[in-house]
Amino acid sequence: MGCLPVAESSFVGRRREIAEASRALSRSRLVTLTGVGGVGKTRLAIEVAARAERAFPDGVWLVDLAGLLDGTLVAQTVADALGIQDRSARRPEDQLADYLVGRRLLIVLDNCEHLIDACALFVDAMLQRVPGVRILATSRQTLDIAGEHVFRVPPLSVPDLGRLPSTAALMRREAVRLLVERAMARKPGFSVTRANRHAVATLCARLEGIPLAIELAAARLTYLSIEQVVDRLEDRMGLLTGGKPPAPPRQQTLRSTIDWSHALCTPQQKQLWARLSVFAGGFDLDAAENVCADGDLGKEEILDLVDGLMTQSIIMRVETKGAVRYRMLETIREYGRERLTELGELEHVSKRHRDYYLGLAERTTAQWCGPGQRAALARLRADHDNLRAALECCMCDPADGRSALAFAAALRFHWCVGGYLTEGRWWLDRALASSVESSPARTTALWVAAWAALMQGDHTAMGRCLDECERLAEQWGDEVAKAWALTLRGNRAVFQGRVREALGYIEEAIPAHQRAGESDGVLWSMVVQARAYSNAGDTVQGKAIAERTLAISEELGERCWRSYVYWSFGRDIWVEGDAGRAEDLARQGLSMQWEFNDAIGASMTIELLAWIAESRSEFTRAARLLGAVDVIWRAIGASAALRSPRTLEFHDHCVRGILHVLGRAGFRAMLDEAKRNCRTIEQAIAYALKDCLSLPAGRLLGSLRPWSSGDLTMDVTGMWCGPGRHTRRVAWVQGYSYELREGGWTRLWCYGGHRATARG
- Sheet strands side by side (includes 727-733): 699-701, 716-721, 727-733, 736-741, 744-747
Summarize pLDDT for 188-209 with one digit per residue, the tens.
888 888 888 899 999 998 888 8
Summarize pLDDT for 646-670 with one digit per residue, the tens.
888 999 999 999 999 999 999 999 9
Residue 161 pLDDT grade (very low, low, confident, very high; cuts 50, 70, 90): confident
Residue 133 pLDDT grade (very low, low, confident, very high; cuts 50, 70, 90): very high
Predicted pLDDT at 7: 63
Summarize pLDDT for 121-132 with one digit per residue, the tens.
999 999 999 999
Q: Is the confidence at residue 726, as pLDDT, over 50?
A: no
Residue 44 pLDDT grade (very low, low, confident, very high; cuts 50, 70, 90): very high
Residue 702 pLDDT grade (very low, low, confident, very high; cuts 50, 70, 90): very low
Q: Is the confidence at residue 693, as pLDDT, over 70?
A: no
Report the candidate in 134, 142, 112 with the shortest Cα–Cα distance to residue 28. 134
Predicted pLDDT at 283: 95
Provide φ and ψ at 33, rounded to 5°.
-90, 120
Summarize pLDDT for 525-537 with one digit per residue, the tens.
999 999 999 999 9
- Classify burial at 399, counting beta carbons within 10 Å of its beta carbon; exposed 0-12, middle 13-18, buried 19 or more: exposed
Summarize pLDDT for 252-297 with one digit per residue, the tens.
778 888 888 898 899 999 999 999 999 998 999 999 999 999 988 9
Would you state the torsion angle of the CA atoms of residues 420, 422, 428, 433, taken in this order, to the nearest 10 degrees? -160
Predicted pLDDT at 642: 66
Predicted pLDDT at 694: 34
Q: Is the confidence at residue 759, as pLDDT, over 50?
A: no
Q: What is the C-alpha to C-alpha distance for residues 423 and 95, in angstroms, rounded to an integer? A: 13
**Mean pLDDT of the chain, nearest integer:** 85
Alpha helices in 264-372 (DSSP H): 267-276, 285-292, 302-311, 330-342, 346-366
Q: How far is C-alpha 114 from the geometric centre of its chain's CA atoms?
A: 22
Q: What is the C-alpha to C-alpha distance for residues 494 and 504, in angstroms, rounded to an integer? A: 11
Report the candidate in 750, 536, 524, 523 with the shortest Cα–Cα distance to residue 646. 536
Q: Which of 237-251, 296-310, 416-430, 658-672 has the lowest mean pLDDT?
A: 237-251
Residue 165 pLDDT grade (very low, low, confident, very high; cuts 50, 70, 90): confident
Report the candidate in 314, 303, 318 with the shortest Cα–Cα distance to residue 217. 314
- Classify burial at 18, counting beta carbons within 10 Å of its beta carbon; exposed 0-12, middle 13-18, buried 19 or more: middle
Residue 164 pLDDT grade (very low, low, confident, very high; cuts 50, 70, 90): confident
What stretch of H or E contains 240?
A: helix 226-241
Neighbours of 234 (CB within 10 A): 14
Q: How distant, in Å, are the alpha carbons of 161, 503, 554 from that of 509? A: 80, 10, 21
- Classify burial at 497, counting beta carbons within 10 Å of its beta carbon; exposed 0-12, middle 13-18, buried 19 or more: middle
User: Which carries the bigger pLDDT value, residue 231 or residue 409?
Assistant: 409
Q: Is the confidence at residue 235, as pLDDT, over 80?
A: no
Q: Is the confidence at residue 589, as pLDDT, over 50?
A: yes
Report the candidate in 537, 529, 481, 521 with the shortest Cα–Cα distance to residue 501. 529
Neighbours of 405 (CB within 10 A): 27
Q: What is the C-alpha to C-alpha distance for residues 546 and 582, in angstroms, rounded to an integer? A: 13
Q: What is the C-alpha to C-alpha distance for residues 42 and 38, in angstroms, rounded to an integer? A: 9
CA 597, 598, 601, 603 torsion: positive or negative? positive
Summarize pLDDT for 305-343 with one digit per residue, the tens.
999 999 888 999 888 777 899 999 888 999 999 999 999
Predicted pLDDT at 186: 83
Q: Is the confidence at residue 758, as pLDDT, over 60?
A: no
Residue 725 pLDDT grade (very low, low, confident, very high; cuts 50, 70, 90): very low
357 residue type, one letter: Y
Q: Specify the long-range contacts of residues 314-318, CB closer than 8 Å, at least 24 apart.
A: 314/261, 314/265, 314/269, 314/273, 315/276, 316/8, 318/8, 318/282
Residue 237 pLDDT grade (very low, low, confident, very high; cuts 50, 70, 90): low
N- to C-terminal Cα separation, the chain: 32
